[in-house]
Structure 1
Amino acid sequence: MNPGLRATIDFLLYDWLRVQALTERARHAEHTRETFDAVLDTCERIAREKYAPFNRLVDTEEPRFDGERVVLPAATHEAWRAYAASGMLSASQDYDVGGMQLPYTIEAAGNAFFAAASVSIGAGMLTVGNANLLMAHGTEAQRRAFAQPELQGRFAGTMCLSEPQAGSSLSDIATRAVPDGDDFESDPLGPRYRLRGNKMWISAGEHELTDNIVHLVLAKIPGADGRLPPGVKGISLFIVPKWLVDTQGRLTGERNDVALAGLNHKCGWRGTPNTLLNFGEGRYPVRAPGLDGRGAGAIGYRVGAPGDGLRCMFHMMNEARIGVGMAATMLGMAGYLASLDYARTRLQGRLPGPAGKDPAQPPVRIIEHADVKRMLLAQKAYCEGALALALYCARLVDEQRTGDARAADDARLLLEVLTPIAKSWPSEWCLEANSLAIQVHGGYGYTRDFPVEQYWRDNRLNMIHEGTHGIQAMDLLGRKVRMEDGRGLSLLAQRMQTTVARARAVPTLAAHAQALARAIDEVGVATRMAWADGDPVAALANAVPYLQALGHTVLAWIWLDVALAAVGRDDVASRGRLQACRYFFHYELPKIGPWLQVVRTRDSTCAEMPEDAF
């Protein structure tokens, strides 16, 4: 692992976010900076030894189904065992359930090392999110039988939302769940149902890394007429384990009726099995009590109340979206560091000027060329800025969990607004960083002799993962910035203005402060004008440019705030951060003008394009 990555994370955690102050709170009182460092050391070591050396291997040896099981390289099994043994699956859980009660900010920072080393091998993002959902919304029996084995690394977890015919349109899911007999409410693991349907794009949906796989499945309970309720309000959430368990989480030896229908062969993330799963097709008929047990459906236990599934699932989805943003960030960071190393050693060309015209002069390292510096500086600005945003959001999670009532509510609202940005902005701009890393390598970057082409392929998923750009944009402009009468967006603007006021007092940052103040005003005007007549069709036609503009404004704010922590420090890393901040304000923030122009005017160019004119 590149030592500069650890130095960057340490600066953001301790010098910028001052995360050590969390040890003054009761929940984290037994921790110190030393325990935080020990966790980061452990994560960095495991990532360096068990993940990074096998990143290319898992890309070339894709998961395969041998007719009975999904086969993964031995390195993936070893990486999972090392990760589970580290305790990171339960890092932020309570001591009394075997957790470490770490701040989520430290957990997120530790997981960043694994994403940089090999996002394709993966760590425990979905398993942890699955367990956290059950700890928050499950019954005591469900927590004991499913969540705690996940936190121990014995079970893995998935999230089963999408269906082949519905894609991201959750209101159109067709998986159905019917009560399993007259006594379905009396099962100690929760109300018992039989599920039938198909789920697509399920990451880690079938493997043998763990003793069991706990699927969290969205399905609809038919009404008295046998029809599924329309819309998302009829969606319920169910635990559907691969293997049935008793109330203590012990395997009963009976396979649930969950069958692998196929593996999806992806552009990137090839080390993670991605599956199509059939529930209740009869391949593994369940002999549990209730219906006839001969292909009657997969056994599932309802979580929460009927129709409350989407609200429960969003507990996991929001965590996953921040995790996707971190994965995108670290893939961009890995490409940046690789291209930086390459640029420092690759000799090619000569500098402009009289000396450069003399072929007898030796070639220079490509990092000396201004355009290569431009590409490296762009990558640094995108990736370090995105890392700061991800850690800031993680710090808000800690504030929501351990702050006083006012601070916790502010953190909740800020996370509502920032989550679509924390997922989407790194997914777009750290992917652009990966593209620039290939460009720095020239033709070599387009070959498999260097890792940057794989980083790009792996990162391309993240613009789709956990909700596409368009979905995040409509969530942001259609709901998040308007919720509670716009209080979340106002609170975000206030935080930005606080940074502006501090930066105005610093001569080297005053111009950036002025530029950010103007951008904040422009976003506010565009938000109001987009909804001037309340027409959602007109307002949301340019939701993606709005997401891009607000995202760039947020990253300008993040960079200015980081610069305030770096200014006055006489070290090369701080000078680099100040230069990256300068780059962002000079080259990136000016882009918001055209984006906001189409939002303000509710430009209909795209919406009014006739289909046959394409």
Structure 2
Amino acid sequence: MTLRTTLDFLLHDWLDTLSLTSRERFTDHNRETFDAVLDTCERIAREKYAPFNRLIDVQEPHFDGDKVVLPQATQDAHDAFVASGMLSAAQDYALGGMQLPYTVELAANAFFSCASVGISAALLTGGNANLLMAHGTELQKEVFAKNEFAGRWAGTMCLSEPQAGSSLSDITTRAVPDTGSSTPWEQDPLGARYRLKGNKMWISAGDHELTENIVHLVLAKIPDADGKLVPGTKGISLFIVPKKLVDTQGQLTGVRNDVALAGLNHKLGWRGTTNCLLNFGEGKFSVDAQAGGPWGGGAGAIGYLVGQPGKGLQCMFHMMNEARIGVGMAATMLGMAGYYAALDYAQNRPQGRPITGNGKDPAQPQTRIIEHADVKRMLLAQKAYCEGALALELYCARLVDEQHTGNPAEVADARLLLEVLLPIAKSWPSEWCLEANSLAIQVHGGYGYTRDFPVEQYWRDNRLNMIHEGTHGIQAMDLLGRKVLMDEGKGLKLLSHRIMATVHRASGIPALALHAKALGRTLQDVGEATQQAWSTGVPTDALANAVPYMQAFGHTVLAWIWLDVAACALDNDPAQSEVSTQGHVGCARYFFHYELPKTKAWLAVVQSRDMTCATFPSEAF
């Protein structure tokens, strides 16, 4: 099966995406418009992205002393993506959007990630603009978000600092009111105007020349009345800090804001995307000294407050949650790209001979390695990991559409389900599709370890996703420490009801009945482990094994996904006459035989509240 046929099945047979067209927002769409969007993205990815995936890995971005230099292929791919309209695909017609369901938008963008995940600097632009649409003022939407949707400007998210990666409560970037202007700082049309000073690290697409401006969304702390930073997250606010200052019409003023590139990070993978250390308000570009500068006042980069002071983290989570689905999809597509490469290699590489009753006959011709059981095992694992992860990401996207366009009951359920599933949507593909990339290398043998074949690059690119947008450990603590407990466990109960609905349905299908029984038992184990983890009421007891809990939880969710997908395939083709149905049912069988049993070992340490790791003496290392 190709990526396109897999997407078509998941979108239309499994998720029934066409049913969304009965809702007012999507009434202009039908199967033809959805297919046209997928066709366009598939073509652009094939022509502008895939041929240059190795090029952008070798020709890394570099700073020439004046600007960041990228290969021309990156500019061409970016321009083609912008021209496709996909930056604003899900937005209102009034914003130049297509009012596409987010499910279709995510599926269409999958082609770009599969073709070359590192080539696109538009990674965060859409999320940046969507945040401003949710939390910005009307003028901020008009000036900043619309120009980002149009592709004229790019966007970033600036959270981490050199001394504060995942621990945002420890950031030290500060923002003070810009009181030195003739325009009162709190009455600036673009938003209450502040001056920012500090350093931000790991900023994807933080500097480049692909667009005429870059809109940074920066987390910073506003000092208290004594000029001190408030400890923790309470004082964190969110600011728009453009690379180049603009007027209320969205036109560049000719004044460079005091945002300076301090260095490019050189990573294991994603080498085609700039990753930056940025200095805000360090004086390299003095806004005050530049002729024609519209504002005076103290030194520092100019930023405009988004939302309320002290509420920046809540605003930023709007973008972070969207980014986590994006990271999960990127990890999925990198795994998928490796799987397709390994499948092609296995189908064409002759090596070894079949074992017969008399052993191997050296006079017989070599067999393709895809005929060997262990190679089939590795390919089947990759297929199960990647196609299962793709179904999970699209299911989460469908929940986003329910949140935006469903009836009140559907909206409430979608919100709760999405809260519980987001840590899995980000973490599970980033772990198991990375494993798929490792297996793709193994299928290639020694060749897989060379740069003559693409699978080593896919692995390098994918290794970042376990860190991207909240590390594995943070996602695990979020899941066990917050998500399964929130609203008195309503989200977990709702997910359990959905899973059991599939269990009951599949119990009546002979090919899936045993799988359904196994999933029901595992779901019960997860529930008991959740209770046991929190039985003492002490967070350190519960969270000591948060990662094994998340691994078991994730495998349970994926087993549910595969059972549901297989049931849908058998509904369409009970006799399994189509190879696609055989693929879906075979993947489900693999997952239940080889993967789901792993949950017992993971849950055992959770249920016993094993403290081996937590209490191991630091000195003993």
SS of residue in 2 equivalent to 1:606: helix
SS of residue in 1 equivalent to 2:613: coil
Contact 1:184–1:290 under 8 Å retained in 2 = no
Contact 2:351–2:368 under 8 Å retained in 1 = yes
Indicate which of 365, 370, 378 corresponds to 1:362: 365
The reply on whether 1:389 has 2:392 as its aligned counterpart is yes
Counterpart Cα distance in 2 of 1:429 and 1:121: 23
Amino acid corresponding to residue 171 of structure 2 in structure 1: I
SS of residue in 1 equivalent to 2:215: strand
Indicate which of 548, 564, 568 corresponds to 2:567: 564
Indicate which of 589, 601, 606 corresponds to 1:599: 606
The reply on whether 1:442 has 2:445 as its aligned counterpart is yes
1:25-46, CA deviations, whole angstroms, 9 ceiling, x for partnerless residues?
0000000110000000000000
> CA offset at residue 359 of structure 1?
1.2
Counterpart Cα distance in 2 of 1:161 and 1:169: 10
Counterpart Cα distance in 2 of 1:606 and 1:477: 17
> CA offset at residue 125 of structure 1?
3.0
Report the counterpart of residue 498 of structure 1 in structure 2: 501
Counterpart Cα distance in 1 of 2:217 and 2:130: 12
1:261-280 matches, within 5 Å, as 261-280=262-281
Report the counterpart of residue 146 of structure 2 in structure 1: 148
Counterpart Cα distance in 1 of 2:123 and 2:515: 36
> CA offset at residue 362 of structure 1?
1.0
1:241-260, CA deviations, whole angstroms, 9 ceiling, x for partnerless residues?
00000112111110000000
Counterpart Cα distance in 2 of 1:327 and 1:168: 20
SS of residue in 1 equivalent to 2:2: helix
Report the counterpart of residue 519 of structure 2 in structure 1: 516
Identify which range, 531-540 or 566-575, moves more after superposition.
566-575
SS of residue in 2 equivalent to 1:449: coil
SS of residue in 1 equivalent to 2:141: helix
Amino acid corresponding to residue 254 of structure 2 in structure 1: G
Counterpart Cα distance in 2 of 1:357 and 1:95: 66
SS of residue in 1 equivalent to 2:308: coil
> CA offset at residue 353 of structure 1?
2.5
Report the counterpart of residue 538 of structure 1 in structure 2: 541
> CA offset at residue 289 of structure 1?
5.9
Counterpart Cα distance in 2 of 1:609 and 1:373: 40
Report the counterpart of residue 410 of structure 1 in structure 2: 413
The reply on whether 1:377 has 2:377 as its aligned counterpart is no
Counterpart Cα distance in 2 of 1:140 and 1:226: 31
TM-score by length of 1: 0.98
1:106-505 matches, within 5 Å, as 106-122=104-120, 124-181=122-179, 183-287=184-288, 288=293, 292-293=297-298, 296-354=299-357, 356-505=359-508
> CA offset at residue 123 of structure 1?
5.7
Counterpart Cα distance in 2 of 1:576 and 1:123: 35
Indicate which of 585, 593, 603 corresponds to 1:586: 593
Counterpart Cα distance in 1 of 2:494 and 2:37: 33
Indicate which of 85, 92, 95 corresponds to 2:93: 95
Contact 1:244–1:253 under 8 Å retained in 2 = yes
Counterpart Cα distance in 1 of 2:191 and 2:495: 41
Contact 2:121–2:273 under 8 Å retained in 1 = no
Report the counterpart of residue 44 of structure 2 in structure 1: 46
Counterpart Cα distance in 2 of 1:112 and 1:125: 12
Counterpart Cα distance in 1 of 2:358 and 2:312: 69
Counterpart Cα distance in 2 of 1:435 and 1:122: 24
C-alpha RMSD of matched pairs (Å): 0.9
**Alpha carbons of structure 1 residues 356 and 57: separation in structure 2 relative to 1, 3 Å:** farther
1:573-595, CA deviations, whole angstroms, 9 ceiling, x for partnerless residues?
11011001000000000000010
Report the counterpart of residue 21 of structure 1 in structure 2: 19
Amino acid corresponding to residue 270 of structure 2 in structure 1: W
Contact 1:177–1:220 under 8 Å retained in 2 = yes
> CA offset at residue 122 of structure 1?
2.2
Amino acid corresponding to residue 346 of structure 1 in structure 2: R
1:581-614, CA deviations, whole angstroms, 9 ceiling, x for partnerless residues?
0000000000000100111111000001001101
1:406-441, CA deviations, whole angstroms, 9 ceiling, x for partnerless residues?
101100010100000000000000000000000000
Counterpart Cα distance in 2 of 1:22 and 1:542: 40
Corresponding pairs, count: 610
> CA offset at residue 291 of structure 1?
5.3
Report the counterpart of residue 34 of structure 1 in structure 2: 32
> CA offset at residue 290 of structure 1?
5.8
> CA offset at residue 356 of structure 1?
4.7
> CA offset at residue 354 of structure 1?
3.9
Contact 2:178–2:297 under 8 Å retained in 1 = no
Counterpart Cα distance in 1 of 2:366 and 2:357: 14
> CA offset at residue 167 of structure 1?
1.1
Counterpart Cα distance in 1 of 2:593 and 2:531: 27
> CA offset at residue 97 of structure 1?
1.1
SS of residue in 1 equivalent to 2:615: coil
Any stretches of 5+ residues in structure 2 without a counterpart? none
The reply on whether 1:576 has 2:583 as its aligned counterpart is yes
